[in-house]
A and B are shown apart, each in its own frame.
Chain A
Amino acid sequence: MSELRTYARQTFALTGRELKHWYRSKMQIFMALIQPIIWLGLFGFAMNGFINSAMEQVGQEIDYMSFLIIGLVIITALTTSMNAGMSVIWDRRFGFLEKLKAAPVPRGVIPLSKVLSTTIKAIVQSLLILVIGLAFGLKFVAGFNVLDFTILILIVAMVALTFSSIFVALGLVIKNQDVLMGVNMLLNLPLMFASGVLFPTASFPEALKVIANVNPLTYAADAARRVSVGDVMISIPNISLGMDLLLLFIVAITITALGMFFARRGLRA
């Protein structure tokens, strides 16, 4: 019992360290927020016409700006998670990880605190994007309430949990920043584009649809849109919100467990 209290204190201290880095680096927060603004300003306005006419052909009508803003909330959770992998590599290079390893800290606490701090960052950033989104014309669905809002945040948390576990484990196993950067690039595009995050999958060719349907980000974006901007904009209409959330939850738990397992192995080697 007293051991659990010690682990909690260690986790809390290390999570706090990460968050201090983050809120002290004004540039880092600025960059994280300027990106969605550029996305909305360039990509959003440019694609608006295309998407709307493409959607007309399949007999649907969507408000692409609102669609994209919720998509960007999910993408921000993804990119924040990717950065967690890099921060692990810096900790190793500067010797901080070595010092942590010499301390009586259970190995699991090290990746866990990275994952927790990343999740908190992702939640805060997604809130800021929603606020920015309002300026770009984000329209919440009629009847949007506190419960819906809470579910939206939980979805962001599950995405961040899943992907930061993957990238923290990758950072600990790979150990080299150039290789990890390459892996990030390699995974970034398919994760983003082969999903319902940026475009409605209704207009996708069949093969791409199959990939999008196994991408957890599609389910995350769908669930997020169901609760915030409305049912008409989702990619996979024949499963319920409950199923979406259940799937996300199962994926988050499984991937986090696997991530911790590999992270501990990476720490030992």
Chain B
Amino acid sequence: MGNIIEVRDLKKIFDKDIRAVDGVSFDVKEGEIFGFLGPNGAGKSTTISMITTLLTHTSGHITIDGKDVVKSATQVRKTIGLVPQALTADDQLSGRENMQLQADLYDVPKDVAKERIEELLSIVKLQESADRRVDTYSGGMRKRLELAEGLVHHPKILFLDEPTLGLDIQTREIIWEYITDIKKQSGMTVFLTTHYLEEAESLCDRIAIIDRGKIIVIGTPDELKASLGGDLIEIEVHDSQECKTSLESIPGIDNIEYKDGKYILRTPNGDEVMESVLNKIAEERWKIKYISLQKPSMNQVFLKYTGKSLRDDTTKTDKFAARAAIAQNRRRR
């Protein structure tokens, strides 16, 4: 599969010295779900704005489906669908009217539009409330409407900017399900930004971790986790029996450490090795005090690459992120 998005050395500098996006390069393959993972203010939204023609970049190159986003902006706009971070549906119109408006703006043939609107409304389970004004919708319903709106013209690439920001966990999972279903059915390419680790991990084929305007690493969730050095198995035995030689005979273990009375086994494939370890334990009749299998989490991945945990990032004030946000908002107002 070819690259449907190509970004080369993309930069966006606000107010002369605020580098919101600072030399970003990546490719998105046709048909994959590609995610930008990073804390607030990392440059995710700024990047998405530039790719979707809403913001002009300071330097660099972006091509979408072979077209330059600056030179062929209208062509690019026809190719893409955008579900912005904010709830932007017109709340004084009904859900169906919003969908119709979107179909008109993208000039979807009228008969096709009619059918497709019904189909999408039923996919996002809004059929029954379709004729109610959007200001009577809950946050989750509005987000589902936004998602449906972004699909009316069957875009080749769907951009989702923080698709589940501010939603409760049930609604979030429903949205994830829609996204995976849509992708499966249509083979559409999906580009999403998120600062939720679970979201990136469960949805994305590939993830780029972005921080302070720079991409730090790109890979599949498994690759990223494997880059931490694989799974850890910890074993503690009674009476400090000598087990090391026996454990070393198990294939697939990279190294064995003995620390604080525990054997720590490092392996790229924890599940298989665990099975062998359990067999060995039965065979040797060791008395086990403690045993555990730890798989690296996205949080550990994040911690390793950015030097900070994504979870506490939201509470800390990041001076850089705050400045970038101020600069961008000033331009928007």
Contacts and interface: CB of A to CB of B under 8 A. Distances in A.
Nearest to B149: A99
A175 B333 contact: yes
A104 B74 contact: yes
A105 interface: yes
A263 to B, nearest CB: 17
B179 interface: no
Which of A14, A17, A100 has the most C-beta atoms of chain B within 10 angstroms of its own C-beta?
A17
A103 interface: yes
Contacts of B82: 99, 102
A13 interface: yes
Nearest to A109: B105
Interface in A80-111: 92, 94-96, 98-106
A98 B89 CA distance: 11
Contact of A9 (B92, B107, B149): B107
Q: Which of A12, A21, A24, A103 has the most CB of B within 10 A?
A: A103
Interface in B174-204: none
Nearest to B74: A104
B111 to A, nearest CB: 14
A252 B84 CA distance: 37
Given A13-B101, A104-B74, A104-B77, A98 B107 contact: no
Contacts of B332: 92, 175
A94 B101 contact: no
B53 interface: yes
A70 B97 CA distance: 37
Nearest to B91: A94
B54 A6 contact: no
Contacts of A105: 105
Given A101-B54, A102-B52, A103-B77, A13 B84 contact: no
Contacts of A184: none
A99 B93 contact: no
A17 B105 contact: no
A103 B105 contact: yes
A12 B84 CA distance: 24
Interface in B65-104: 74, 77-78, 80, 82, 84, 86-88, 90-93, 97, 100-102, 104
Nearest to B87: A95
A20 B92 contact: yes
Contacts of B100: 13
B86 A94 contact: yes
A21 B88 contact: no
Interface in A143-165: none
Contacts of A175: 332-333
B84 A99 contact: yes
A9 B54 contact: no
A111 to B, nearest CB: 15
B106 interface: yes
Given A10-B107, A12-B104, A176-B333, A102 B90 contact: no
A179 to B, nearest CB: 10
B87 A13 contact: no
Contacts of B107: 6, 9-10, 104
Of B91, B92, B100, B102, chain A has the most CB atoms within 10 Å of the CB of: B92
A140 to B, nearest CB: 37
Contacts of A94: 86, 88, 91
A96 B77 contact: no
Nearest to A9: B104
Contact of B93 (A20, A98, A104, A269): A20
A24 B90 CA distance: 13
Given A102-B54, A103-B77, A176-B333, A95 B104 contact: no
A20 B91 CA distance: 12
Contacts of B54: 98, 101-102
A95 B88 contact: yes
A103 to B, nearest CB: 4
A20 B96 CA distance: 14
A67 B301 CA distance: 77
B89 to A, nearest CB: 8
B55 to A, nearest CB: 10
Contact of A21 (B78, B92, B102): B92
Contacts of B86: 94-95, 98
Nearest to A24: B92
Contact of A20 (B53, B97, B106, B331): B97
Given A10-B104, A20-B93, A99 B78 contact: no
Given A104-B77, A176-B333, 10 more contacts: A13-B105, A20-B93, A94-B91, A95-B86, A98-B88, A99-B82, A99-B149, A102-B77, A102-B82, A103-B106
Nearest 3 CB-CB pairings of A with B: A13-B104, A95-B88, A95-B86
26 contacts: A6-B107, A9-B107, A12-B104, A14-B105, A21-B90, A21-B92, A94-B86, A94-B91, A95-B86, A95-B88, A98-B54, A98-B88, A99-B84, A99-B88, A102-B52, A102-B53, A102-B80, A102-B82, A102-B84, A103-B105, A104-B74, A104-B78, A104-B105, A104-B106, A106-B74, A175-B332
